[in-house]
Amino acid sequence: MHSLPIKIFAWFGAGLFLIALPFFLKEYPLHLVNISGIWIILALSLGLLQGYVGEISIGHAAFYGIGAYTSVLLTMKGGLSFWLSLPISALVTMGFGFLIGSVSLRLRGPYFAICTLGFGEIIRLIFVNWREMTGGPDGITGIPSPHPIPIPFSQTITFTSKQANYFLIYGFVFLTIFVIYRLIHSRLGKAFMAVREDQVYAECIGVNAMRYKRLAFTVSTFFAGVGGCLYAHYEHFISPYSFTVAQSFDLVIMVIVGGMGTIIGPIIGAILLTLVPELLHAIRDYRLVIYGLMLMMVIIYLPHGLAGIWHGISARFSKSS
């Protein structure tokens, strides 16, 4: 009976904490928080596909890259405002996602994963070799910050500070959470999970499996595009090395370690895998070894990821009470 006020109190506290956070953190920790935010968007978007539809894509970083490069070209060569290039670059990424998804989602399981790996590599090679547009391996520098928003009778909101970018990035984190939450709690989410559990059976009870897999992939690539655009204008520099297979694998690991089939899982995974290598500089060279070990441990001992620990505890708690 006490649970409702406590819940409201907890949400209120969490909200206050998130609003106050950027004003207490120093430059570098805040930078890490912002980068985590971008990875949260990416991991959540991949988590929709991986956790709810049950297909692992190893090409997600390529879509992240498409979003970044599209927005940079639109603002720097096309002269567009960031606020226009953001939706356009996300939509362009989504268009690529639709096309590639339509082809590759005909395959399933490991074959789909290998296919996305291939598409990811093709896109990365385009970033490296299309020098006139992408600057080749040197990347593109001097990317502008998001353009200031004028407010009548007052100053403008500028996005040069880390604080302002914090609110911008986490605004999109919440948008991503909101859309994915609503999606998986609708009939579409049921259809995604039905396909994950048993595709042939799902089709026999009226679920057009291909259509829903493609929908999930398209939505997933849309948010990858948003993440890429935010990243480019936050870091002011992009190069093909930010969008390689290694980043794609990082994302897959984030979702698995955090917990597949949950929303909190990819968030935990993204924060953990962004902060840990930064905080423990000494182990940075052994990053992949540690990730490999971590992945094995999680798969063996925590099949539901870190989010599964919490679910396990709360289930035990509610049973005993």
Partner 1 sequence: MAILSVENLTKYFGGLAAVYELSFHIQAREILGLIGPNGAGKTTVFNLVTGIFPPSRGKVFFNDEDITGRKPYEINEKGIARIFQSTRHFPNFTVRDNLIAGRHCRTRAGFWSAVFNNNLAQYERRQSEERAQEILQFLELQPYQNELARNIPQAMQRRLDIGIALATDPKLILLDEPAAGMNPEETYQLMMLIKKIQEQKISVFLIEHVMQMIMDICERIIVLNYGKKIAEGIPEVIQNDPGVIEAYLGSEDFDRVRIE
**Inter-residue contact 172 to 226 (CB < 8 Å):** yes
Site for partner 1 in 48-107 (CB under 8 A): none
Q: Which is nearer to partner 1, 287 or 304 (CB)?
A: 304
177 near partner 1 (CB under 8 A): no
206 near partner 1 (CB under 8 A): yes
Angle at 102 between CA 126 and CA 172, to 5 degrees: 70
108 near partner 1 (CB under 8 A): no
Which of these, 176, 193, 190, 171, lies nearest to 263 by C-alpha position? 176
Residues whose CB is less than 8 angstroms from the CB of residue 248 and which lie 6 or more positions away in sequence, other chains included: 57, 58, 59, 60, 61, 62, 117, 120
Q: At closest approach, how far in Å is the CB of 100 from partner 1?
A: 19
Interface with partner 1 (CB under 8 A), residue from 203, 277, 290, 294: 203
190 near partner 1 (CB under 8 A): yes
182 near partner 1 (CB under 8 A): yes
Which of these, 64, 40, 93, lies nearest to 232 by C-alpha position? 64
Q: Which stretch binds partner 1 (CB under 8 A): 53-61, 73-81, 100-108, 184-192?
A: 184-192
The footprint of partner 1 on this chain (CB under 8 A) covers a number of residues equal to 26
At 237 the three-state DSSP class reads strand
Longest dimension (CA), the chain: 65
Give me the 218-257 binding string for partner 1, x by CB under 8 A, dash otherwise.
Answer: -x--------------------------------------
Residues whose CB is less than 8 angstroms from the CB of residue 128 and which lie 6 or more positions away in sequence, other chains included: 134, 136, 137, 240
198 near partner 1 (CB under 8 A): yes
Q: Which stretch binds partner 1 (CB under 8 A): 30-38, 54-62, 198-206, 296-304?
A: 198-206
193 near partner 1 (CB under 8 A): yes
Q: In this structure, what token pair is assigned to residue 28?
A: 């570098």
Q: Which is nearer to partner 1, 117 or 194 (CB)?
A: 194
Q: At closest approach, how far in Å is the CB of 209 from partner 1?
A: 8
281 near partner 1 (CB under 8 A): no
Q: Which is nearer to partner 1, 189 or 240 (CB)?
A: 189
Interface with partner 1 (CB under 8 A), residue from 25, 88, 126, 188: 188
191 near partner 1 (CB under 8 A): yes
**Inter-residue contact 48 to 267 (CB < 8 Å):** no
C-alpha span between 222 and 246 (Å, rounded): 21
Q: Are strands 156-157 and 149-150 parallel, antiparallel or unpaired?
A: antiparallel
C-alpha span between 252 and 215 (Å, rounded): 19
265 near partner 1 (CB under 8 A): no
316 near partner 1 (CB under 8 A): no
Report the run of H or E that residue 213 belongs to, with start and end.
helix 209-235
Contacts with partner 1, residue ranges (CB under 8 A):
178-179, 182-183, 186-191, 193-194, 197-198, 200-209, 215, 219
